[in-house]
Structure 1
Amino acid sequence: MSTTLQNDLLIRAAFGQLTERPPVWMMRQAGRFMPEYWEIKNKYSFLEMCKTPEIAADVTMLPVDLLGIDGAILFSDILVTAEAMGGDLSFEQGVGPRFANPVRSLADAEKLNTDCLPKLEYVADAIKVIQQRLNGSIPLIGFAGAPFTILSYLVEGASSKDFKLTKLMLNNEPALAHKILQKIADVTVEYLNMQIAAGVNAVQLFDSWALALSWNDYKEFSHYYNQQIISKLNRKDIPVISFCKGSSVFAPIMAEAKPDVISVDWNADLKNIKQSLPQGIAVQGNLDPFVLYADKKVIREKIHQLFERMRGEEGFIFNLGHGIMPDIPFDNVKYAIETVKEFRY
């Protein structure tokens, strides 16, 4: 796939090659920090935006047109799989996602439908529209939520600070947790393979809440399923990026799932992580997103500091350690991307 791209920097770096400069994209790059996003968001609900291919394409293209990044990421949400499985999902302004029917018992788990790919066809349609608009300029990244993170939303019924109900299930009813996780994993494999068939150039697995877990619980309830998913992807020429909040701790286990890239949060020294990983696994990251609130001089210094640290390392994609916050000034994000694009090793 990469041979047809005009800018394949991201694909080359993801496959462990040394690039003339680090490629750049940012998690949540099409989001709420852009006035243009709000112009669209004020007309439609969040789920309408996700489910209408033309609108999803419009939002996906915002950072391509306005920021000039090296990779576009599909505009969607990690919870669309949970909704397709039967979750009654809504998004409340200032609160976030909610499931009106949390999954907390065996009866709830048995209602989860794994034969739900037709309900996600709108994502494949969006990918086709986006690829027509990108016209081979840069790669398009598809994604899915990892089973543990999806489980936590389904069990809690919303975002959580302490994941109490989820952890109670892992401890008191591990067999029930595994039943739900396996169903989510099965759907996720089909969903990501559908995205690959529709034409994405890379995929990322988001395990946003993995940091809530202990080492042993991460291995049993997160890694086991992520490994299963990655092993079943049609990944010829398609790099697989594994992201979890907690990758600074869990990177050695994440590597066992054999992703092409591990996306690292900002708590670790990126070079140390890179050098501790098996040969050939690339890294993505890991600027603290809060740096983007700072003066431009500081933004430039911190990016250059990271690049000097990574000098000579093969397989490095520049990104944030997590997503862009909604109130980060647009000009600062644009300046950060320009700083990356001007850099040469």
Structure 2
Amino acid sequence: MLLIIFYLDPLLVKAARGDPVSRPPAWMMRQAGRYMAVYRKLAEKHSSFRERSETTDLIVEISLQPWEAFRPDGVIIFSDILTPLPAFGVPFDIEEVRGPVIQSPIRSEDDLKALHPIDLEKLHFVGESLKILRQEVGGHAAVLGFVGAPWTIATYIVEGGTTRTYTTIKSMCHTAPNLLRTLLSHLTKAISEYIIYQVESGAHCIQIFDSWGGQLPPDMWEQWSKPYITEYEINALKHLLFSTLTVTVASLNA
């Protein structure tokens, strides 16, 4: 996980920038979810995860549940790293047992033709939710958006979902490196625009999750993940005209 900081006021942002603070900020990964009875009750009524994560009113309600319960220093938008995929040509479903499923994985040059520039209008519910969350918490907490790192998103798009070994995409690093680079570059451009959209909609910070970066040995991570994450930062800063950037990095199984 990599955290990009854009605004200055809440405690979490000040701490991330290295400013003096009265105490360490506290917030959690998966902050809203099944551990909360109020969430489970809502999920009984709205059983589809995509409905919950792609409907403005539900996103706001779920995102604010932890805030109303224990006032964390960060309020994280209820979403998923795969949420933007249909906006640039990759439809997906989330099944109860299997999790994310991409029926048409990208594994060839012809498959790449399905991709197109990201259409942010198809993600209006994200922007609307961030604006409302910013109003709801005021300056009392940082509003956090998030995205997946290009490598991590690519694992789903190439494999067609989650796997234990990620064999197909790992093989592609050696058998079809140009194809993989083209895919990663497209993802980097699309998600960079999505980052900018979230910030302009009200997010103080953007968390970047490289959840499956730990599937790569360090030397391969340096080649296949790090440069594209760095490009996120460059693209966002270039557009948003900020001169300082504070980041923290973490990756599952790294």
What TM-score does the superposition give when structure 1 sets the normalisation length? 0.67
Deviation at 1:152, TM superposition (A): 0.1
Equivalent position to 2:207, from 201, 204, 209: 204
Following the alignment from structure 2 to structure 1, what is the Cα–Cα distance between the partners of residues 177 and 71?
Answer: 46
Does residue 1:78 correspond to 2:84, yes or no? Answer: no
Runs (4+) off by over 3 Å: 235-243
Deviation at 1:18, TM superposition (A): 3.7
Equivalent position to 1:174, from 167, 174, 177: 177
Following the alignment from structure 2 to structure 1, what is the Cα–Cα distance between the partners of residues 165 and 20?
Answer: 40
Equivalent position to 1:11, from 10, 13, 18: 13
Partner residue, 1:38: 40
Deviations 1:9-52 (A, max 9, x none): 21111001343221110000101211111122222211111111
Deviation at 1:132, TM superposition (A): 2.0
Deviations 1:68-115 (A, max 9, x none): 211111111000122322222111113211111111111111211223
Following the alignment from structure 1 to structure 2, what is the Cα–Cα distance between the partners of residues 72 and 240?
Answer: 18
Equivalent position to 1:29, from 31, 39, 44: 31
- Taking the TM superposition and a 5 Å limit, the aligned residue runs for 1:1-345 are 1-3=7-9, 8-44=10-46, 45-233=48-236, 234=240, 236=242, 239-246=246-253
For the structure 1 residues 47 and 235, does the alpha-carbon distance in structure 2 shift closer, same or farther, using more than 3 Å as the test?
A: farther
What TM-score does the superposition give when structure 2 sets the normalisation length? 0.90
8 Å contact from structure 1 (residues 170, 177) kept in 2 = yes
Aligned to 1:142, what secondary structure does the other structure show? strand
Aligned to 2:34, what secondary structure does the other structure show? coil
Following the alignment from structure 1 to structure 2, what is the Cα–Cα distance between the partners of residues 9 and 235?
Answer: 23
Which segments of 5 or more consecutive residues in structure 2 lack a partner in the other structure?
1-6
How many aligned positions are there?
Answer: 243
Greater Rg by CA: 1
Deviation at 1:64, TM superposition (A): 0.5
Following the alignment from structure 2 to structure 1, what is the Cα–Cα distance between the partners of residues 245 and 60?
Answer: 21
Which segments of 5 or more consecutive residues in structure 1 lack a partner in the other structure?
248-345
8 Å contact from structure 2 (residues 87, 118) kept in 1 = no
For the structure 1 residues 238 and 139, does the alpha-carbon distance in structure 2 shift closer, same or farther, using more than 3 Å as the test?
A: farther
Aligned to 2:223, what secondary structure does the other structure show? helix
The percent of aligned pairs where both chains have the same amino acid is 32
Q: Pairwise CA RMSD of aligned residues?
A: 1.7
